[in-house]
Structure 1
Amino acid sequence: MPHQSHPEVRVLHSLRVRGFVDTHLVADASAMEVPEVEEWLVHLESQGDVRYRDGRMSGWMLTTEGRGRGETLLATELEEAGCREGVHSAYQDFLSVNHGFLELCTDWQLRAPTDDPAGEKVINDHSDPDHDAAVIARLAEVDRVVQPISIELATLLHRFDGYGRRFGDALGRVRAGDHDWFTKPMIESYHTVWFELHENFLATLGIPRASEAQAT
């Protein structure tokens, strides 16, 4: 059975990986009911771990203290669940395709001119179906790597459950001709889910993003 995270961990971690979001999105990300999430958010706000920002864009966000509190809880959880080695192994598998995926995103956004294959790349207006088909085929190859990673993670920590489905949904939409679902921000695009999983790995394993960049 995968380890079930404490509600406090799930709420704090959801804000860590999703960023600035409303209550319903916190509930969705943490797999909790909205009333329970509301209670936890009010409690965490009283402790100074989260704050609510109102305005044109409203939502919850972590404070510096909340980020630190979350990191402490995640480290404790990882040791109690006894799955650090398994999560780290999955992370290494993820890193093996991370650079290639980022290059793939660039190739989706830019392409060589049809009349000058060696020329400077231009914005991909998706008027070259052969180029798009080749990039989508490469995305499918990446997906064949990341799906087993997602399955393995879900057997270790329940809060990792759902990544495989979300990747599959995004890939399906791209294959159906909806270009936004490859790299567009603010929706569940393949890149959005990829970035979130990456942040989830870093937060869970306590790896600063800058340290990872230096190591790679």
Structure 2
Amino acid sequence: MLIGMTHDSAPDLRVLHAVRVIGMASDEAVARRLGIDLDTASELLRDFEAYGWVTHVEFGATSGWTLTERGRDEDSRRLGEELDQAGAREAVERAHKEFEALNGRLVRACTDWQLRPTGGDRLAANDHGDPQWDARVLTELTAIGAELTPLVGGLTAVLARFGDHADRFDAALRRARAGEGQWVAGVGVASCHAVWMELHEDLLSTLGIARGGEPENG
């Protein structure tokens, strides 16, 4: 790779890896996440199904594609090859260390958004009746977002597919600060917490690290 040039992942790798990062994803979710044509996403996903790399599952009222073990192995193999071909390993390892330094703060902030201990109950749900408590959490998330931007910038300089994580975090934070509290840690939306978890999975899978195989704050 030429110095100063970022690496663009192949479209089929981007689609396969998107399923891994999202966890369970519809055709529409993959296309929207990657900014690609729905027909392209659908065609690749059905090819992957034929290869045994993805399977379509239903969970309650939701459904989507998930990786099979074979698909996870294929994604890991391709990610490892890409990492070395792009000369990106050192940059991604550095970003992972920086991420880990922020991870504990993000987890605490999201916990504080969901819980506000009282004298009799340290696990009392946050009823969001204390504006100072919530403002402190949003201030901390803003500070984390400010540190996330250069972290993702360093990743994007070597692997273009990391490029939207900081923008998505900022978009969720803007909605949270505008009064839409579900965008802090809500399920079913691209909340700050959801975006953070996707970036975490992206870093771990790119480096071939099993979840739980990190330091304690990982």
TM above 0.5:
yes
Find the residue that maps to 1:60 and give its secondary structure.
strand
Q: What residue in structure 2 maps to residue 17 of structure 1? A: 21
Alignment-derived partner of residue 37 in structure 2: 33
Q: What's the secondary structure of 2:166's corresponding residue?
A: helix
C-alpha offsets along residues 6-37 of structure 1, whole Å, 9 cap, x if unaligned? 12211110010001111011112233221222
Task: Tell me the number of residue pairs that the alignment of Structure 1 and Structure 2 aligns.
Answer: 213
Given candidates 158, 162, 165, the residue that maps to 2:164 is 162
**TM-score normalised to the size of structure 1?**
0.92
Aligned twin of 1:152: 154
Give ranges in structure 2 of 5+ residues lacking alignment.
Answer: none
1:125-172, CA deviations, whole angstroms, 9 ceiling, x for partnerless residues? 000111111111111111111111122212211111111111111111
How far does residue 2 in structure 1 lie from its aligned partner after superposition? 1.6
Residue segments in structure 1 that go unaligned for 5+ positions in a row: none
1:68-107 residue pairs with structure 2 within 5 A?
A: 68-107=73-112
For residue 185 of structure 1, give the secondary structure of its aligned residue in structure 2: coil
Residue 186, structure 1, aligned to residue 188, structure 2: yes
TM-aligned CA distance change 1:127 to 1:27, over 3 Å: same
TM-score by length of 2: 0.91
Say if 2:103 and 2:217, in contact at 8 Å, map to a contact too.
no
Give the letter for the 1:40 counterpart: L
Shift of 1:57: 2.6
State the one-letter code of the partner of 1:38. S
Deviation, 1:101, is 1.1
Measured after TM superposition, the shift of residue 214 of structure 1 is 5.6
Q: How does 1:193-212 map to 2 (within 5 A)?
A: 193-212=195-214
Report % sequence identity. 38
Structure with a larger share of its residues in helix:
1
In structure 2, C-alpha distance between the alignment counterparts of 1:105 and 1:123, rounded to whole Å? 12
Equivalent residue, structure 2, for 1:138: 140
Pairwise CA RMSD of aligned residues?
1.8
